[in-house]
Amino acid sequence: MADILLDSGMDEVQKRLMFDDECILVDENDRVVGHESKYNCHLMENIEFKNWLHRAFSVFLFNSKYELLLQQRSATKVTFPLVWTNTCCSHPLYRESELIEEEALGARNAAQRKLLDELGIPAEDVPVDQFIPVGRMLYKAPSDGKWGEHELDYLLFIIRDVNVNPNPDEVADVKYVNKEQLKELVRKADGGEEGLKLSPWFRLVVDNFLFKWWDHAEKGTLKEAADMKTIHKLT
């Protein structure tokens, strides 16, 4: 209760998610070691002093023109408000359907759930079997003095034409970009232009993997390029 009182200024929707959602704690080899509230998992004191690491996913949704859908996180987000990022970023929860490790099914189930929650994309528009797990990365990123991220992130690609109806509690804006438009966005963020900021996990994917996987997606060779055995440690 003390934590809730301390965070009385937190948006009510985000507060509910922070305390109700149970994230999956893992070790650096992605073995499940427990579960904790989203709130506790994102406290920098737990990340720094307990080395808590939780499982996450990042969706990269492309339309049939191979344009990537980006979202700007809402102003009420506890971590990284108003930054631009990939299509959808969240966590598999500590529940049976999202703990399934075979072929990253738990992460894919969670991705389908959150695309509806955040962007209003119905499940039938993003079938679980259409997500292609392409890799895993481990990273740590402080958001401010109190909050941060320490995630083992499943990177999921999907190529579908969808209707988007963003949830304003989660998303401030959306847009599709081609490769050149994304490079321009990165340039502006690097130069501090227009107040543009990119999420740290998205920037890591852009700098290390995205464009080569994007090329493979266009060529139809993405599954061959995927590597789910390696955990890329980018902290």
What's 108's domain CATH number? 3.90.79.10
Q: Catalytic annotation on 88?
A: no
* Number of compact structural domains in the chain: 1
Residue 93 is part of which domain span? 2-233
User: Does residue 14 have a pLDDT over 80?
Assistant: no
CA distances from 204 to 149, 187, 207, 210 (A): 13, 15, 5, 9
Has this prediction a pTM greater than 0.85? yes
Considering the candidates 23, 88, 89, 170, report the single residue annotated as catalytic: 89
User: Does residue 7 have a pLDDT over 80?
Assistant: no
Cβ atoms of 43 and 36 within 8 Å: the answer is no
Please count the CA atoms within 13 angstroms of the CA of 153 that sit on its side-chain side.
27
Q: Catalytic annotation on 224?
A: no
pLDDT digits (tens, 9 = 90+) for 97-131: 999 999 999 999 999 999 999 999 999 999 999 99
pLDDT for the residue numbered 144: 76
Considering the candidates 36, 98, 149, 151, report the single residue annotated as catalytic: 151
